[in-house]
A and B are shown apart, each in its own frame.
Chain A
Amino acid sequence: MGTTTTAAGRRPLGKGIGLRKSLATLAASIMLATSVQAAVPPTEEVNTTGLAVTDDSVKVGILHSITGTMAISEIGSVQAEKLAIQQINESGGVLGRQIEFVQEDGASDWPTFAEKTRKLLRQDDVAAIFGCWTSASRKAVLPVMEQYNGMLYYPTFYEGLEQSPNVIYTGQEATQQILAGIDWAVKEKGAKSFYLLGSDYIWPRTSNKIARKHIDKLGLKVVGEEYYPLGHTQFNSVINKIKLKKPDVIFASVVGGSNVAFYKQMKAAGVDFTEEKPLLLTISVTEDEIRGIGGENVEGIYASMKYFQSLDNPNNKDFVAAFKEAYGDDMVIGDVTQAAYLGPWLWKFAVEKAGSFDIDKIREVFAGIEFNKAPEGYVRIHENHHLWSKTRIGRAKTDGQYDVVYETQELMEPDPFPEGYQ
């Protein structure tokens, strides 16, 4: 519509036929616009920054590792994002436009992530990117996102200490997972001493720093803190140390293949987690990881997450059913998979509230965007681009699922820069 009027206005007014013709076009285009407006706002209005939006479609990017070591973890996120996109399309799309996605493979290699982001933003002109999993990949993508003003929806629970105008964090930052978990162990289980154990990189180290501060604040004791290289497979020495120190709680943030080795060797060393001596509280083992570890090896451990597949609410029942229908009955859904599912929906609500696909306009309306049908119950976007959500404690069963034994009364406020914890 904008083009037609401008063209007409530039015509020399003296020529009657030309004027009449252009007036007719103008009238027609106004009528056309009004009749269509009820369903779909015109593309020129909702897209002033050259994104890949047409009258009936909008392009988004999905950027995860589907090859390489991280594929294990990231494939669940890809599945959840595709499911959300499909459901949004079935319910009429975003501003009347069907979502088309361009999928790129980050190949577990951080520079590749940055390269593919550049491609998605510059060549495909996508309106949003759902992607990344590890903090390393997010950090690699960040400068590109900010340079070309893209918007990333990042699903993983992570260490915090970040807040970019170009990222929405749909997973928990560290305090949301840790504080409630430790409070629960202290209050419900009477824990007095803690042993902190993690893989050796930024997320476990930051998490344990926050945990240690919090434990100190409560006047309790940390009897050991240990880190093992990623991929470490021999935990016999640390198991002996734990037996020597007899902590009430082992607070574990071991990741990847090391997890499998750690729990199998704990079990082999005669530690029965169901006896809770010591109790094990993890922030890194979701239903996805249990598939590799084996349910019989983790029976009785507790996990602090915001989502478990077994959550009993109507939203989650629908979500689990839809996920299994799309990908097979033997699929399991972990915390991050659910967070990835939130991404496309939150984007849709923001776009519709802003009435525009433009990144700058969406950014202004983010604070307060809610999702009532979230599988985890209800979430809301905080001004700091993280989500308000509840923290829950689950207890692992042999079938690889968690029983939810506790959830916070209120939504936990995201606090990526916790004061006094750094």
Chain B
Amino acid sequence: MFDGYTTSELMSIFAMQGFAGLSLFSVFVLMALGLAIIFGQMGVINMAHGEFMILGAYTTYLTSGFFQSYMPSLFGGYFFIAMILAFLICAALGALIEWLMIRHLYHRPLDTLLATWGLSLIMQQAYRSIFGAREVGVELPEWMMGAIQVTDLVELPINGLFVMIIALSIALGVYLLMYRSSWGKKVRAVVQNRPMAEAVGINSAGVDRMTFALGCGIAGIAGAAFTMIGSTGPSSGQAYIVDTFLVVVFGGAQSLIGTIVSAFGISQAQSTMEFFLSGSMAKVLTLLVVVGILMLRPEGLMALKVRR
């Protein structure tokens, strides 16, 4: 397929393809981090993860509308405020849901699956009633559109770079929170041994609520970021949920590093194969490889060693 191209053309195509793989990687990281925190730390399978992302996207949509009508001069910077709002709103809703529903279902992982799936249906229908069934268009500030021209052929999409920066900062933030703060220590203590953690005075119910809220908040930020590359509609969250679970399960449920490694592996495999094969075949092959590896290593790429 490379007949008749000069070396420099090929080099630029490979550069752009490499960038495509990296931007897919950051999308996966953003999608999966929130879920990995909730699934890994609490053992709760949150099927409504996609809907929390869309809540973030709708928040961005509303913020953009607000800025357009009331503060058009500040429109260029609205996106940052939208992301903060998305985090706060999703985290607040997450805490509420944990209190109303999830906390009654710990130790019953299959029931959380069903309950959060029901929640996702409720949320979808709520969006449909509030915002209408049609997708909404989120207008972006001018500086976020277009591409940076590196050479004649190499063009890097600005929104791809932006998603990459957000993904890396959030991953770093989560790392600091989990492994360098006292709150993170408590979370890890609860994960490793709940009765023991409670015995030394950790309020495990409070830790659970905060963990769930944090996971949902990160989903909100992801949703805000995805208005740049995807659609915002009542059921758009469904498009992300499969890939998200794939990344988390493949990485090993209780390891955040595993999530990142698995996001990297899957994104590179998929984007390379998409280039050489057709889109659907690439997906099929990626899934086959993942299934194959999971058969050999059911606990995922990186499993936390815990005495059971």
Determine if A267 and B145 form an interchain contact, defined as CB atoms under 8 angstroms apart: yes
A251 to chain B, nearest CB (A): 15
| A371 in contact (CB, < 8 A) | no
| A317 in contact (CB, < 8 A) | no
Q: Which of A241-288 contact B (CB under 8 A)?
A: 241, 243-244, 256-261, 264-265, 267-270, 288
Binary per-residue interface labels of chain B (135-161) against chain A in the complex, 1 for a CB within 8 Å, 0 otherwise: 111110000011101000101011110
Determine if B128 and A294 form an interchain contact, defined as CB atoms under 8 angstroms apart: no
Q: List residues of chain B with CB within 8 A of the CB of A288.
A: 134
Residue of B nearest to A69 (CB): B235
Determine if A72 and B149 form an interchain contact, defined as CB atoms under 8 angstroms apart: no
Tell me which of B17, B134, B149, B234 contacts A237 (CB under 8 A).
B17
Q: List residues of chain A with CB within 8 A of the CB of B197.
A: none
Determine if A291 and B135 form an interchain contact, defined as CB atoms under 8 angstroms apart: yes
Q: How large is the interface on A (under 10, 10 to 19, 20 to 34, 35 or more residues)?
A: 35 or more
Q: Which of A41-86 contact B (CB under 8 A)?
A: 66-69, 71-72, 75
Q: List residues of chain B with CB within 8 A of the CB of A291.
A: 134-137
Q: List residues of chain A with CB within 8 A of the CB of B125.
A: 67
| A167 in contact (CB, < 8 A) | no
- Which stretch of A168-176, A181-189, A227-235 is in the interface? A227-235
Q: List residues of chain A with CB within 8 A of the CB of B282.
A: 237
Q: How large is the interface on B (under 10, 10 to 19, 20 to 34, 35 or more residues)?
A: 35 or more
Determine if A270 and B155 form an interchain contact, defined as CB atoms under 8 angstroms apart: yes
Determine if A231 and B239 form an interchain contact, defined as CB atoms under 8 angstroms apart: yes
A156 to chain B, nearest CB (A): 16
Determine if B137 and A294 form an interchain contact, defined as CB atoms under 8 angstroms apart: yes
B189 to chain A, nearest CB (A): 37
Q: List residues of chain A with CB within 8 A of the CB of B236.
A: 257
Q: How far is the CA of A149 from the CA of B13 in the complex (A)?
A: 58
Residue of A nearest to B139 (CB): A294
| A126 in contact (CB, < 8 A) | no
Q: How far is the CA of A244 from the CA of B6 in the complex (A)?
A: 11
Tell me which of A75, A256, A264, A295 contacts B229 (CB under 8 A).
A264
Main secondary structure of the interface of A (DSSP, over half): helix
Determine if A233 and B239 form an interchain contact, defined as CB atoms under 8 angstroms apart: yes
Q: How far is the CA of A268 from the CA of B23 in the complex (A)?
A: 12
**A237-B17, A270-B155 known; A292+B137 contact, CB < 8 A:** yes
| B165 in contact (CB, < 8 A) | no
Binary per-residue interface labels of chain B (34-63) against chain A in the complex, 1 for a CB within 8 Å, 0 otherwise: 000000000000000000000000000000
Determine if A261 and B231 form an interchain contact, defined as CB atoms under 8 angstroms apart: yes
Determine if A241 and B280 form an interchain contact, defined as CB atoms under 8 angstroms apart: no
**A233-B230, A270-B155 known; A292+B135 contact, CB < 8 A:** yes
| A238 in contact (CB, < 8 A) | yes
Determine if A240 and B16 form an interchain contact, defined as CB atoms under 8 angstroms apart: yes
| A146 in contact (CB, < 8 A) | no
Determine if A260 and B128 form an interchain contact, defined as CB atoms under 8 angstroms apart: no
Q: List residues of chain A with CB within 8 A of the CB of B229.
A: 233-234, 261, 264-265, 268
26 contacts between A and B (CB under 8 A): A69-B235, A71-B234, A72-B135, A72-B234, A75-B134, A227-B279, A228-B280, A231-B238, A233-B229, A234-B27, A234-B229, A234-B270, A237-B17, A239-B20, A257-B135, A257-B230, A257-B239, A260-B231, A260-B232, A264-B230, A268-B228, A269-B147, A270-B149, A288-B134, A291-B135, A292-B137
User: Which positions in A face B, CB cutoff 8 Å?
Assistant: 66-69, 71-72, 75, 200, 225-229, 231-234, 236-241, 243-244, 256-261, 264-265, 267-270, 288, 291-296
Apart from the given pairs A234-B27, A244-B5, 7 other A-B contacts in the complex at a CB distance below 8 Å: A68-B235, A232-B283, A236-B19, A260-B231, A270-B146, A270-B147, A270-B155
Closest 5 CB pairs of A and B: A292-B135, A260-B231, A236-B20, A270-B147, A268-B157
